[in-house]
Structure 1
């Protein structure tokens, strides 16, 4: 890295200060399995980091099929994982102590490690994201996982945030269906049968964020606008967890990718899973 590049990275916002959560907000998350928090990153911070993230997403995106020639998953979003490995600037954003402390506070744990980050860019007129549970992919036997979902551009009511099935996280592992048309049909019926309230947090400003538990059922509408829905996500889990025995191909794949060199029963702490916040 040149001195110029080092100075440019050093000048980026650190995002180390705390975001105050009320007891009511923490209780709401614990009850419903999701919450929206406004202004987790401010406008000036987003204005600096969004172009950096978007430039790398554009560079790494290898999706070349037109929307109408993709399957449901392919229509849902451009998905790029672990941008922090490719960019020291993005690493500073993804590793933000401010974000990680919120995750720890909402889950009520002493520390959190990173599972991975994901840019989820829903293209103009892109398709919906089917109902699913995130944690069916993760070889972790716990209820202490959480995802931060932060738009990097304003999201109108027409696009909206994700839709959550409130309190569905309390049931844990519902089934092993990966994101698909089948998961959407089956889980929509399940949600209706259980009588879960579904809730979207509506329009969001850049830098607002939702947080949801790994077991919370959620979906997202399509993008009916002519602009890209740019979202950055970070997945956290409680420090001190052990890797679970994979019970599906999806979890076997994730074990190899996100816990390289580790085996079931070992501490979930590979080189890709840094401790991002600890009260100790």
Structure 2
């Protein structure tokens, strides 16, 4: 697990206190399918956790091809999933009750489980992330899914948050296209045809976060700067959901990876999906 001893882990920030959302913020998220929240984690909290997460990402990264030799997906970011499994210190961050409660409050549900986390580090001069819907990968038949996207370093206007197609989540499953040049072209045309407003939340401080629904169409620009865009994401879903019959290779693969030992129709609650927050 982590290189910190038990006392050092115990001394890490707890991230258990509540972050209060206004009714307007909850309604805005439900309407648009995305929201930016400032100061979800404090500067002091991020200063503790960022070096721990970044060291692990560096150690686990297997991407050694130069940027110009990678495909579009490979140019988009260094991606490490379920970082929490490798470090008790990072588990404390990923399992934060504060973050999970925001997810539950925005979705209007009583409790949330973790689907998985992802460190998404976009390298200096890394490529764009094509338009896509996250939930085409997830074997869950629901609209009660949400992703927190939190920069661990300040992000300038030039890099910005992801760009979201507001209200696109209301249409649910649009198509099965995985993240690719094809998904970018096809979905960009779809967004234009439907007249969806696209919105970026601009520059973000370390510890700010966006939250977006599993069906919200989104993309991210490339990184024109000389510094790494370090982002940590956590995906949540409502407690009590059942696993859907996978209708694609992507969902079949996710079922095996993120719901080990479980099958369609069973409660979506493996040992990898602990309950992180419950109002009950």
Q: TM-score range by the shorter chain?
A: over 0.9
User: Matched residue of 2:176: which SS?
Assistant: coil
Alignment correspondent of 2:37? 37
Q: Which runs of 5+ in 2 are unaligned?
A: none
Q: Deviations over 1:1-49 (max 9, x none)?
A: 8997000000000000000000000000000000000000000000000
- Deviation (angstroms), 1:271: 0.3
1:27-81 Cα deviation digits (max 9, x unpaired): 0000000000000000000000000000000000000000000000000000000
Say if 2:100 and 2:112, in contact at 8 Å, map to a contact too: yes
Q: Structure 1 24/3 Cα, relative in aligned 2: closer, same or farther at 3 Å?
A: closer
Q: Deviations over 1:115-170 (max 9, x none)?
A: 00000000000000000000000000000000000000000000010000000000
Say if 2:168 and 2:215, in contact at 8 Å, map to a contact too. yes
Runs of 4+ in 1 over 3 A off after TM superposition: 1-4
* Aligned CA distance change for structure 1 residues 97 and 4 (closer, same or farther; 3 Å): closer
C-alpha RMSD over aligned residues: 1.1
Asked if structure 1 preserves the Cα contact closer than 8 Å seen for 2:136 and 2:176, the reply is yes
In structure 1, what is the Cα distance between the partners aligned to 2:62 and 2:27?
A: 41
8 Å CA contact retained: 2:133, 2:215? yes
Count of aligned pairs: 280
Secondary structure of 2:256's aligned partner: helix
CA distance in 1, matches of 2:3, 2:12: 15
For residues 263 and 139 of structure 1, what CA distance do their matches in structure 2 show? 10
What CA deviation, in whole Å up to 9, does each residue of 1:207-261 have, x standing for no partner?
0000000000000000000000000000000000000000000000000000000
Deviations along 1:78-128, one digit per CA (max 9) or x if unpaired, are 000000000000000000000000000000000000000000000000000
Q: Which runs of 5+ in 1 are unaligned?
A: none
Distance 1:47 1:2, change over 3 A: closer
1:184 counterpart residue number:
184
Matched residues in 1 for 2:58 and 2:232: separation?
A: 14
Secondary structure of 1:236's aligned partner: strand
